[in-house]
Amino acid sequence: MMRIPFSYIWRSLWARRLTTALTLGGLALVVFVFAGVLMLARGLEATLVETGSPDNAIVLRRSAGSELVSQIDRGTASVLETQPDVAPAKDGRPLLSREVVVVINLY
């Protein structure tokens, strides 16, 4: 196998300066965007970990992977209010929030 000398490579890169510069710029842009996405993900994760509380819980239906696919009826929520693990508020009512998650397509 014949090896190409480095002088040929450097001359080729110098002769195609615009193509070389655009290729390096595109590569730098990809690295910059990838690093930005990683920084954003790490920042969101750190924020959620620091602001979360081990005293809070989200109750999902069995086999539900997220809040979007979980359904808990009002009767089950009423039973959850009577559980001793649910902390009471100052006025004696259980600290339980019945929240609905809605997804809307904007396009």
pLDDT in tens, 31-70: 999 999 999 999 999 998 888 788 888 888 888 888 888 8
Query: What's the rounded mean pLDDT across residues 4-25?
Result: 93
Q: What type of residue is 20?
A: T
d(CA 30, CA 28): 5
CB-based contacts of 71, cutoff 8 Å, min separation 6: 61, 64
Q: What type of residue is 101?
A: V
Determine how many CB atoms are found less than 10 A away from the CB of residue 64. 13
**pLDDT of 84 over the 90 cut:** no
Query: What's the rounded mean pLDDT across residues 76-103?
Result: 86
52 vs 23, 38, 57, 59, 87, CA distance in Å?
44, 21, 10, 16, 17
Q: Residue 58's pLDDT is what? A: 83
CB-based contacts of 87, cutoff 8 Å, min separation 6: 55, 94, 95
